[in-house]
Amino acid sequence: MKGKMQGVTLVADWAPKPGFKLGAKDLEGRQTYLGSQVWKDPRIEMREYDIPTPGPEEVLLEVKACGICGSDVHMAQAEPDGYIFYPGLTGFPCILGHEFSGVVVEAGKNAFDKRTNKAFKGGEPVTSEEMLWCAQCRPCADGQPNHCERLDEVGFNVNGAYAKYMVLPSRTLWSLEPLRKLYKGDDIFIAGSLIEPTSVAYNAVIERGGGIRPGDRVVILGGGPIGLAACAILKRAGASQVIISEPQEERTKLALQIGADYAINPFKEDFAERVLEITEGMGADLFMEATGLPTVVYPGIERVIWEGRTLNSRIVVTARAEAKMPVTGEVLQVRRASIIGAQGHSGHGNFPRVIECMASGMDMTRISTKKVSLEEIPANILKLQADRSQCKITYVAS
Amino acid sequence: MKGKMQGVTLVADWAPKPGFKLGAKDLEGRQTYLGSQVWKDPRIEMREYDIPTPGPEEVLLEVKACGICGSDVHMAQAEPDGYIFYPGLTGFPCILGHEFSGVVVEAGKNAFDKRTNKAFKGGEPVTSEEMLWCAQCRPCADGQPNHCERLDEVGFNVNGAYAKYMVLPSRTLWSLEPLRKLYKGDDIFIAGSLIEPTSVAYNAVIERGGGIRPGDRVVILGGGPIGLAACAILKRAGASQVIISEPQEERTKLALQIGADYAINPFKEDFAERVLEITEGMGADLFMEATGLPTVVYPGIERVIWEGRTLNSRIVVTARAEAKMPVTGEVLQVRRASIIGAQGHSGHGNFPRVIECMASGMDMTRISTKKVSLEEIPANILKLQADRSQCKITYVAS
Amino acid sequence: MKGKMQGVTLVADWAPKPGFKLGAKDLEGRQTYLGSQVWKDPRIEMREYDIPTPGPEEVLLEVKACGICGSDVHMAQAEPDGYIFYPGLTGFPCILGHEFSGVVVEAGKNAFDKRTNKAFKGGEPVTSEEMLWCAQCRPCADGQPNHCERLDEVGFNVNGAYAKYMVLPSRTLWSLEPLRKLYKGDDIFIAGSLIEPTSVAYNAVIERGGGIRPGDRVVILGGGPIGLAACAILKRAGASQVIISEPQEERTKLALQIGADYAINPFKEDFAERVLEITEGMGADLFMEATGLPTVVYPGIERVIWEGRTLNSRIVVTARAEAKMPVTGEVLQVRRASIIGAQGHSGHGNFPRVIECMASGMDMTRISTKKVSLEEIPANILKLQADRSQCKITYVAS
Amino acid sequence: MKGKMQGVTLVADWAPKPGFKLGAKDLEGRQTYLGSQVWKDPRIEMREYDIPTPGPEEVLLEVKACGICGSDVHMAQAEPDGYIFYPGLTGFPCILGHEFSGVVVEAGKNAFDKRTNKAFKGGEPVTSEEMLWCAQCRPCADGQPNHCERLDEVGFNVNGAYAKYMVLPSRTLWSLEPLRKLYKGDDIFIAGSLIEPTSVAYNAVIERGGGIRPGDRVVILGGGPIGLAACAILKRAGASQVIISEPQEERTKLALQIGADYAINPFKEDFAERVLEITEGMGADLFMEATGLPTVVYPGIERVIWEGRTLNSRIVVTARAEAKMPVTGEVLQVRRASIIGAQGHSGHGNFPRVIECMASGMDMTRISTKKVSLEEIPANILKLQADRSQCKITYVAS
């Protein structure tokens, strides 16, 4: 397909901080694994691009919906010294947008549809993993695509979904056909754009956390999109009590709609006491840290485990943070507990199972609290730097 | 407590078949592991007993409800040669009844309530495991009470619940306090009497079958109480599609009310074709054999696995049967599948989790389709030999 | 690299049996998933080829060693009606040879060495998986490359190692550098050529069978290369008793050298009785069926489980067979046992762990009982149709 | 059996610190869960006792050997304020000694031998778990005896093995018969006395740490008896590289004899650098913290994980410590790692598997570096307060 399109593009200046050395995957002036060490003065520009052409194993997608993620905000946000907030893999300029859905327009001859077990056909509604795992490094060969040593990321160092079209390898695409029965109109694509963040939560609590047994109790700390998705998934997995800890009232309400049974406002209540009260002294089988403030919340989690009677509690650390949690080994020992790091969303059957959950009634679309057009994306990314009142803002293509 | 009580008692004659030898746990004239090899001319008698007295680690229970189980029927049922149907551990005469709930009346001084972590107090509503594991054999020490080498069984070789009172060791009791919030009046005890069969299903699909991940598909073969409980548990565990295969219409209806999404009548439809159709060619992650006719149903399961695309399917064989299934290793290999034997309900946190499931909304009481008095039990046990129209008949104490 | 080379080539005639239909991956006249349904009159020819050229993600290998596998024998062997024995994926004419090692000669610019995390360099000693998983189908995306829906197989439908050179994708290659410390001269390559079959055993007993805990007991049925490798792996995994059941004396001796503690000759002794005797009535935690005669051996396995006291026994069915085993569900139930199908060797960290085992002392080279030149391969493949006295015949490049 | 015997008895004064409150299991003047908060002025006395009489489920043992444990030392050792070091469950006066073996002299009529599945007979050589789990609390019913809510401990609040005889419940006993083939004379009992500490290590690395796959790499921090046992177990489990980190030379030598492949002296070398060097940049799959100084060693472990390439590393925290480790969640996330608390040795088939390991060649007797008589025990306990040169001092009955 020929033609031009607009893309919401993150632009920044390559200005490595003193002492920065190019890493194995870094490309001088173009790409780094350590964004906040290198990129200065970020700005969002609407730029014009040629509509891209898919290679033999690739697909051209018409974008239908794309959620704005916190990392979009952090790439566009500068510290007082001008360096961007976002610490990870980045290659600018880049069209942002990585929580998306769309429709297949064209496909390379070896682009293969996992749903049909045949070549991709135009018209297939799809979403994609954001992580373009390489399929040839040691972690990929071992079945660990979330830890690919040659990773590319859509909307970070590869052009993303804040545009009319985009190109993707077929191996990270997943069909949204199963959603058709339950979701009508745009909703299939809004649901589709929520599969990526929901899969991050699914990977954290089910794959990494080991899931739960029906009747177990769980506590989710942090009511952002990932925490909310965890509420929905764990309620669906049979939790007898899903407890959300979140200070903001709008998010608490969403959590209670989507799966939580109890809400704690940690600014107004004693977190540990409330959990022990709700669970009648039992504590919880699974804790999910999704606040990004582990040093703040860890002591409360530890107190619930120590004073509660539940054995084998797992604490899944999901929100990325480099702060050092003060961990008492004795508590893990006496209660047979463990702490587990979780990252990513790819592999392990995560995407197809999240799609089946949505197809059979786990409706995440209500966390998309605002819809915007392509032109409105830049302003909304900037607004999110300060205003946390919307849970998920979604670009819906007109 | 002093006094007399009536007990629905199974009586039979000790008449070992030729060649029978006393086993390790057998007691001449009193008890055997191989019921159908030994006991002849069974009859149910209403006999009078002293109200029993609990030992130091025991509890006296006032029985509130008790479901009639198929094994009750089979103990009272004779083959044409006069020997009983039931093949397992039996010691007659014995008061039957092992799916029960009641209230603590008296407790020995070392009888310990797992809920409060203190001595038992009168008034506590409880249910019990039917398996009185010994806590000192090798399997018990290893954490495998369902395979206790010195097992006693309530209502089989130890007096059961078809009476006003009964005595039990505290270690197999579980409090029903958590049910109070959701169940009112007799319902707490009817729910309580269903915990034992529900835990058999829970042990089969969750502990032995390994559970499922939210979004997985499951097929339950057989709509008896165990199969129905599996439907409820697996729907709660997040199955995207729960399929019941059952010829009888009343049970199919119950299955659909309690958790199944689709029903197959294997007498009228091709089982394998329907499963593949419903799942759009995927097959299922978990199959539960609960018909007792594994040789009949196995080929259909195998065909679904072979023709379906799902990997890692598990077939949990739950209903006891000594028939030989024709198993093709190649099917297990090509689809990475496995066959798993399941037995019992004790240990592994099964009972407390089933109680939490019920306390948070998994309502099993609707499978109790008929209530009877103590006096009506014998006639109803006999009626169940021929009439399968009631799903679960429950004795409710007046 | 330019030039010519000789390749030991399997040639056969495309003559589908009546009723055969082309499957999804079949190619008229060229390739089928069901070899024995299609290919007639097989013959081995030494043919001349151009030295192949690697693509951007590929590597050109100089072959150093390659073991002859039973499937090589079965592709070249005809039933009385002329059709080949081998039932699986085949595309002829094809250079055979899939258990190999070699040295990297040239590499495409995106061919990536998992060991160094960098581009491949000439001189690297390597082996390869035989299964060229596609990395884009549903099983591959889910981490199940052994069940790839678009599989190619080296030496079956893609040219193999019975030649001087061969081309392979970098993603299935594994460096043999770790072997250098312990293996000298040709031995590094002979060891390297045994990694593929050893990984089949590793995948069966460790990945699929779940491994063992140190102190567990194991029984291996069948002393072919896969069964022998299982003896070595499970001894290394800490089995207290490794029992091999194998009628042939040479293989029994190898088994005892390589890891087995006890040998049973099932033609001369009662298999079940001997296992129960050796284990003092305990039975075994893991059984590996590697005879290809599951219907013959299953009743003995079942008897050991039934009469033994071990719970949680796993039976791993490894040798491919379509015969129907007579499986008693009750035995699986009473002993908490399971039957598990195993296929393939890829993924799950199998190859790198087998390499580390070999590098730290698990010496498999002694099962290579005969070395041959390229020219001698055809005669040796044919000889193996009748003569089972050699355990593994290895082509070693001069 | 009638008569008198001497017992090495720990005596101390009940003098609770200000603010101490009696806990659920505490008994005024007699027993507490928090030893170091209550007991003052400890002294070891040789006291005279009646030979005890076994109850119906108990056994009278003639003690044959018993190792001195660090907790014996800490019960007898006072801080400057006079309070004992040992922080846990204690009831004084009490005969110490909990790592022991002996021979059955008398048995109650319901005392059951797990080996024979029959009543205990005199002459059976046995060892015992130190943890007398109650078999009726919630954790015991769930299969978690190491977390029993009504625990008694031999040699802590129940009379132990520093005497000629002792009484024990049959459920915690394990036969040493399997050791007879390999161990002669006293060695069967010395080996037997090492089963308890070896099972602590086994429970930590195999049950809690999840074990390893053959070919994995492991690092043990701390060369005390538990760390040394871990070296032996993990080598046996197939580790390709076992690395011990220990400053003391004698212990390093023992580690290298017993299973370690490499030793690091963390006082003289950079721990993290050395591990990365030995493993060629890979790091390790399993770390066992057995130093008791987690805050000191954790940063080094974290650096190995961060800079190494291994995914899914598990850090098993075994040595009890209440210090707070500084844990970076990001490291756990990026490397898919986890931290696991381990406590105890009971259940999960730990004891019988350790016995099978020893019976098949895992010889732990060499860590018993000194033998003493009953009379010499007190002086040796006191000597160990300052002198760490002996690895394990064993009382051997004459």
Q: How confident is the model at residue C388 (pLDDT cuts 50, 70, 90)?
A: confident
Sign of the Cα torsion D181, D182, D185, D188 reads negative
Specify whether the CB–CB gap between A112 and C136 falls below 8 A.
yes
Q: How confident is the model at residue B24 (pLDDT cuts 50, 70, 90)?
A: confident
Q: Distance, in angstroms, between C396 CA and closest chain A CA?
A: 28
Measured CA to CA, the distance from residue B363 to residue A47 in angstroms comes to 58
Residue C350's pLDDT is: 98
- What residues contact residue D99 under an 8 Å CB cut-off, 6+ apart? D66, D67, D68, D69, D130, D161, D193, D194, D196, D197
- Beta strands D99-107; D58-67: pairing state: antiparallel
Measured CA to CA, the distance from residue D254 to residue A221 in angstroms comes to 47
Catalytic position from the list C71, C101, C245, C313: C71
Measured CA to CA, the distance from residue B141 to residue D170 in angstroms comes to 11
Chain A positions with Cβ closer than 8 Å to B:
117, 202, 206, 211, 213-217, 233, 236-238, 240-241, 261, 309, 349, 352-357, 359-360, 362
Q: Would you call D185 helix, strand, or coil by DSSP? A: coil
Q: Distance, in angstroms, between C293 CA and closest chain D CA?
A: 28
**How many Cβ atoms sit within 10 Å of the Cβ of residue D184?**
9
pLDDT tens string B370-380: 999 999 999 99
Provide the token pair at B39: 């006991």
Residue B115's pLDDT is: 96
Q: What are the chain D neighbours of C354 within 8 Å (beta carbons)?
A: 215
Rg (CA), chain B: 21
Half-sphere exposure of residue C345: CA atoms within 13 angstroms, side-chain side: 29
Q: What is the DSSP letter of A268?
A: T
Verify whether the Cβ–Cβ distance A147 to D326 is below 8 Å: no
Angle between helices C249-258 and C225-236 (to 10 degrees): 20
Q: How confident is the model at residue D388 (pLDDT cuts 50, 70, 90)?
A: confident
- Which residue from A155, A143, A169, A165 is spatially nearest to A346, judged by alpha carbons? A143
Give the Å distances, CA to CA, from A260 to A238, A253, A284, A342, B142: 12, 9, 14, 21, 37
Mark whether A71 is an active-site residue: yes
Q: Would you call B304 helix, strand, or coil by DSSP? A: helix
Q: How confident is the model at residue C209 (pLDDT cuts 50, 70, 90)?
A: very high
Q: What are the chain B neighbours of D141 within 8 Å (beta carbons)?
A: 114, 171-172, 346-347, 351
Lowest mean pLDDT among C116-120, D205-209, D345-349: C116-120
Lookup result for tokens 């015997």: D5
Q: What is the DSSP letter of D146?
A: G
Measured CA to CA, the distance from residue A152 to residue C352 in angstroms comes to 25
Q: Distance, in angstroms, between D240 CA and closest chain C CA?
A: 5
Q: How confident is the model at residue D322 (pLDDT cuts 50, 70, 90)?
A: confident
Paired with C104 in beta bridges are C61
- What residues contact residue D186 under an 8 Å CB cut-off, 6+ apart? D64, D65, D396
Specify whether the CB–CB gap between C221 and C291 falls below 8 A.
yes
Q: What is the DSSP letter of C365?
A: G
Is the pLDDT at A322 greater than 90? The verdict is: no
Residue D24's pLDDT is: 79
Per this entry, what is the length of chain A? 398
Residue A25's pLDDT is: 81
- Beta strands B338-341; B314-317: pairing state: parallel
Residue A24's pLDDT is: 79
ipTM of the prediction greater than 0.90, yes or no: yes
Which partners does chain B have (≥3 C-beta pairs < 8 Å)?
A, C, D
Residue A93's pLDDT is: 97
Q: What is the DSSP letter of B398?
A: -
Specify whether the CB–CB gap between D42 and D198 falls below 8 A.
no
Q: How confident is the model at residue B310 (pLDDT cuts 50, 70, 90)?
A: very high
Rg (CA), chain A: 21
Lookup result for tokens 């492949």: D261
Specify whether the CB–CB gap between B319 and B297 falls below 8 A.
no
- Which residue from B303, B234, B309, B294 is spatially nearest to B274, judged by alpha carbons? B303
Residue D56's pLDDT is: 95
Q: What is the DSSP letter of A258?
A: H
- Minimum Cα–Cα distance from B111: chain D residue: D136
Chain B positions with Cβ closer than 8 Å to D:
24, 57, 112, 114, 117-118, 134-138, 140-143, 145, 149-150, 169-172, 346-349, 351-352
- Which residue from C125, C97, C98, C101 is spatially nearest to C113, judged by alpha carbons? C125
Lookup result for tokens 């031009």: A4
Q: What is the DSSP letter of C343?
A: -
Averaged pLDDT for residues D21-39: 90
CA dihedral defined by B280, B283, B284, B290, rounded to 10 degrees? 120
Averaged pLDDT for residues C268-279: 98
Verify whether the Cβ–Cβ distance D112 to B135 is below 8 Å: no
Q: Distance, in angstroms, between D339 CA and closest chain A CA?
A: 5
Residue D349's pLDDT is: 98
